[in-house]
Amino acid sequence: MMGGLVILWTDALVFLLLLFVGAFGVYAAGKEHLRGPWRLVVRSRVGVSTLVILSFYVAVGLLDSVHFEPSYVADPQAQDRVQSTEVVSLFDRLVLPLRERQEKTYSAPLATHLYAKENIEQPGGTMIRDYPRLQYGGAHLANPAQDWAGDVLRLSLIGLVKGLVLTLVLANILFALLAPRRAGGFAGAAREVLTGKGQIPWRSALITLGLLLMVLLWAVELSGRYHLLGTDKVGEDVFYQALKSIRTGLLIGTLTTLVMLPAAILLGIMAGYFRGWVDDLIQYTYTTLNSIPGVLLIAAAILMLQIYMSNHADEFDSLVERADLRLLFLSIILGVTSWTGLCRLLRGESMKLHEVDYVQAAVAFGVGHFQIIVRHILPNVLHIVLITVVLDFSGLVLAEAVLSYVNIGVDPTMNSWGNMINSARLEMAREPVVWWSLLAAMIFMFTLVLSANLFSDVVRDAFDPRLRSSR
């Protein structure tokens, strides 16, 4: 049962960012110079395909950003509910079996036995050395040696068929929504989508969505009976850890952007527009900041935060709040160290825009500097801001993995791909080798970063005025 709602700092910032994106969408809908490029993005096959994949990651991240303290029945006779001190998310509740089914130690993907041999006591009191059965993985099989292959194949087919059926249902819903705007009605809409002749590449979006749903429901079917990606040293499900790490990766990219954008936009435009001593001061500031090694600055900041949390342990009610504060602090430090590149770009673009005719005419007519910046400079540099944001996102996701690998990233108690890779460093050196934690982190990170890079290429091509004019 859900109990009291818990709003962490990062949760509040996530939904604040979501509100900002919605407001920007409403603003962009009324501006043709912004609506036109987004129309090109939506009409790109690569753009809509990667947008489907990114939407899955965002959905998981948002579900994992709704936290609460669950309540439970302490006395079944009195039916009194007691508030738990544990903080869980809505995503944790949706995948509760993955979270609670914990084995003794390592087990391989889809395995029915532990990964290492142990001493097992027989009913007669004798001891043998063998691979013990898992408590949850494949526990429904009476004879794993004979039944495992057929059961995995059966569950795989069920998951793939469910994904295909759901895709067909969603496709028919899409045809019904498009039918009123098509001359041939439902059949005409279906023909247009399936042949790919419409302006929006619905066929590419449906194919990507279908493949995603088939893989997702295949994973759901298998993870209900087995540990899909195995278990780690303490027996926790690696598939659950990889899914929980999505929120951390997205937060590093989005919150760092939220911290970086105000300083980069404000200082970059001021340096290029006002020039003189303002430009010199801002240049000196970001040149000095760039001279400090970023890793050392992050390490020093995280160390100071750890000392503060150790000396003020009574201020934190749970480990989740401690880990959340460290994640927020890491995002702030990354934002402080990553705004200089965008600031340089905006400075150069603002210098160029300051000399164009309509800006010079506004200055000659006595229009205030603030009004000129808001009405003439800022709208003409938004494409640079947007391109830089989507290009830097994937770099920030990878930065979290590198920082966690050297123990200056997110809190070790927080699920992240960097922590999974860090723990896999020791697992790859043992015998037999435990490889699935590293593989799981690589698959999820590779898919997110590749989708973000492909989407950013489409956005860059759509918003770059030179590329649009060359078409």
Average pLDDT over residues 363-392: 80
pTM of the model: 0.85
**Of 12-16, 17-21, 195-199, 203-207, minimum mean pLDDT range:** 195-199
Full residue range of the structural domain in which residue 9 is found? 4-66+237-470
- Spatial distance between the Cα atoms of 19 and 13, rounded to a whole number of angstroms: 10
Mean pLDDT of the chain: 83
- Asked whether residue 151 is domain-assigned, the answer is no
Give the pLDDT of residue 153.
94
Give the pLDDT mean for 334-362: 85
**Which pLDDT does position 467 carry in this prediction?**
59
pLDDT digits (tens, 9 = 90+) for 73-106: 555 555 556 556 677 888 988 988 888 888 888 8
Within-domain flag for 212? no
SS3 74: strand
pLDDT interval class at 52 (50, 70, 90): very high
In a domain, 109, yes or no: no
Residue 157 in any domain: the answer is no
How confident is the model at residue 117, as a pLDDT?
78
Q: Can you tell me the mean pLDDT for 13-40?
A: 82
Quick one: average pLDDT of 17-34? 81
Is residue 164 a part of any domain in this protein? no
Band (pLDDT 50/70/90 cuts) for residue 427 is: confident
Residue 98 is assigned to a structural domain of this protein: no
In a domain, residue 249? The reply is: yes
Highest mean pLDDT pick, 3-7, 25-29, 184-188, 438-442: 438-442
> Which residues have a Cβ under 8 Å from the Cβ of 379 and sit 6 or more positions away?
31, 33
DSSP state at residue 132: P
Is residue 357 exposed (0-12), middle (13-18) or buried (19+ Cβ within 10 Å)? exposed
**Averaging pLDDT over each range in 80-89, 273-282, 318-327, 410-419, which range is the top one?**
273-282
State the pLDDT at residue 322: 81
DSSP 177-201: HHGGGSTTHHHHHHHHHHHT-SSS-
- Structurally, the chain folds into a number of domains equal to 1
d(C-alpha 262, C-alpha 389), whole Å:
12
Residue 415 maps to which CATH number?
1.10.3720.10
Q: Is residue 312 part of a domain?
A: yes
